[in-house]
Amino acid sequence: MTRDDDSPAGTSAATRAGYVALVGYPNAGKSSLMNRLVEQKLSIVTPLAQTTRERVLGIDSRDGVQMVFIDTPGLVEPRYLLHRAMLYAATEVIDDADVVLLLVDAAAGMPEFSPDVLRLLTLAKSLLVISNKHDLAKPAQLETVRNWSRERFGLEPWEVSALAGTGIDELRAEIARRLPESPFLFPEDDISSQPVRFFVSEFVREAAFELFEKEVPYSIAVKVDEFRENSSPLYIRATIYVERPTQKAIIIGQGGAAIKRLGQSARLKIEEFVGGPVYLDLWVKVVPRWRKDPLQLQRFGFSVPNPEKNA
Ligand SMILES: Nc1nc2c(ncn2[C@@H]2O[C@H](COP(=O)(O)OP(=O)(O)OP(=O)(O)O)[C@@H](O)[C@H]2O)c(=O)[nH]1
Ligand SMILES: [Mg+2]
């Protein structure tokens, strides 16, 4: 996938490039910060925790520096197999990243990471603690994050607001300084390595988070079944999987009213992303307990660690 402007980005001798992981508790603002850093709505954002379930890759190439951001699911205490897959997706990148951004929601309590996660973080090649939601946090809360960051990691946190956009340019410059000299890892016009159909399914999930309550959005997985690239409007057929017939009934609504609203909302998000008209054909199917089923999770594209131990 490529970006539609053609900003000049140097690919000459002294370019820098590398992977930058965004990790932290659910709801800390990881996806918001990545969208800010790449200046594009790539990763879905909602007020609810555990929105991001898989890694989302966003690429920013400018001024001879290519940053390949990896947004991750929150570092959760796993309660079922989907959580284990999410935690795996988040921790696996810490090891490989050139720079790890550890996000903390400064307006909330300090995170308590498991010893395994803490060890991974302290072994990161280059770690930055990011105190996010600066706009929301009280001075005493910001001080708490500073003390926490000094005690745990011996680091001064970077104070930013992903929502207001403050501190972002300074942070980007600091990340650039920490990346190794390297040729670009992706073509400089690319904004992600993930296919458009991945982002389509994410925008359907984001719309579902905005329309439905309680466990319903968490019970949803979305798979694009058909994507007619050359049609106009762009034709997309997708299936929404839920765990129970009652959830299916909620998503469809009285006389199909709810799924119509969901389709309209998701279509607008997808149209903004692809920059053209879209025909979105949504279907709903029940797959009992898919969040606990290793085969289903793999079918939906999750990497499941040791599935036989968790069935
Ligand atoms: N006030 C304020 N809100 C923010 C800021 N950054 C993010 N938020 C809000 O915090 C909520 C969570 O943001 P996300 O970007 O989805 O957080 P996340 O860490 O990706 O969450 P998960 O994917 O669930 O782990 C959303 O309602 C955001 O609008 C910030 O700097 N200030
Ligand atoms: Mg997220």
Residue 7 contacts residue 278 (beta carbons within 8 Å): no
- Ligand 2 centre distance from Cα of residue 127 (Å): 19
H or E element that contains 272: helix 257-274
Q: 264 lies in a domain?
A: yes
Domain count, the chain: 2
Residues 61 and 140 in one domain: yes
Residues 224 and 128 in one domain: no
- Selection from 174, 162, 194, 169 nearest residue 58 by Cα: 194
Residue 5 lies inside a defined structural domain of this protein = no
Protein residue with its CA nearest to atom 17 in ligand 1: 29
pLDDT of residue 185: 97
- Give pLDDT, residue 310: 40
Q: Give distance in angstroms: CA of 104 to centre of ligand 2.
A: 13
* Residue 215 belongs to some domain of the structure: yes
Q: Are residues 168 and 269 in the same domain?
A: no
Contact present, 294 and 303 (Cβ < 8 Å): no
- CA dist list (Å): 196 to 1, 29, 165, 241: 7, 23, 26, 19
**Residues 158 and 21 grouped into a single domain:** yes
Report the nearest atom of ligand 1 relative to the CA of 73.
Answer: 25
Residue 44 CA, ligand 1 centroid: distance in Å: 10
pLDDT value at position 139? 97
Q: From the CA of 35, give the closest atom in ligand 1.
A: 15
Residue 269 forms part of a structural domain: yes
Is residue 120 a part of any domain in this protein? yes
Task: Please work out whether the CB of residue 161 comes within 6 Å of at least one atom of ligand 1.
Answer: yes
Instruction: State if residue 35 touches ligand 1 by the CB under 6 angstroms criterion.
Output: no
- The CB of 67 under 6 Å from ligand 1? The reply is no
pLDDT score of 210: 97
Which atom of ligand 1 has the smallest separation from the CA of 27? 21
Residues 150 and 223 in one domain: no
Task: Tell me what pLDDT residue 4 has.
Answer: 52
- Domain end, chosen from 143, 178, 213, is at 178
Omega prior to 233 cis, within 30 of 0 = yes
Question: Tens-digit pLDDT profile for the chain (311 aa)?
Answer: 665 544 455 444 699 999 999 999 999 999 999 999 999 999 999 999 999 999 999 999 999 999 999 999 999 888 889 999 999 889 989 999 999 999 999 999 899 998 989 999 999 999 999 999 999 999 999 999 999 999 999 999 999 999 999 999 999 999 999 999 999 999 999 999 999 999 999 999 999 999 999 999 999 999 999 999 889 999 999 999 999 999 999 999 999 999 999 999 999 999 999 999 999 999 999 999 999 999 999 999 898 876 444 43
* 28 has binding-site annotation: yes
**Same-domain status, 128 and 233:** no
Distance separating alpha carbons of residues 91 and 108, to the nearest angstrom: 22
> Is 83 annotated to bind ligand?
no
What's the 202 CA to ligand 2 centre distance in angstroms? 11
Q: Are residues 133 and 41 in the same domain?
A: yes
Predicted local distance difference test score (pLDDT) of residue 279: 97
- pLDDT at residue 311, rounded to an integer: 35
Does residue 190 sit within a domain? no
> CATH no. for residue 260?
3.30.300.20
Ligand in nearest proximity to the CA of 33: 1
- The answer to whether position 220 is within a domain reads yes
In a domain, 295, yes or no: yes
Ligand 1 binding pocket includes 247 (Cβ within 6 Å): no
Q: How many CA atoms lie within 13 A of 57 on its CB side?
A: 20
- Amino acid identity, residue 11? T
Q: How far is the CA of 232 from the centre of ligand 1 (A)?
A: 35
* Amino acid 148: pLDDT: 96
| Residue 159 sits in the same domain as residue 210 | no
- Is 258 in the same domain as 134? no
The residue segments making up the domain with residue 46 are 16-178
Q: Is the CB of 162 under 6 A from ligand 1?
A: yes
129 & 165 share domain: yes
We report the CATH number of the domain holding residue 141 as 3.40.50.300
Q: Which long-range contacts (CB under 8 A, 24 or more apart) does 38-43 make?
A: 38/69, 38/191, 40/3, 40/191, 41/272, 41/273, 42/71, 42/191, 42/192, 42/199, 43/71, 43/202
260 and 126 both lie in a single domain: no
Q: Is the CB of 31 under 6 A from ligand 1?
A: yes
Residues 143 and 84 in one domain: yes
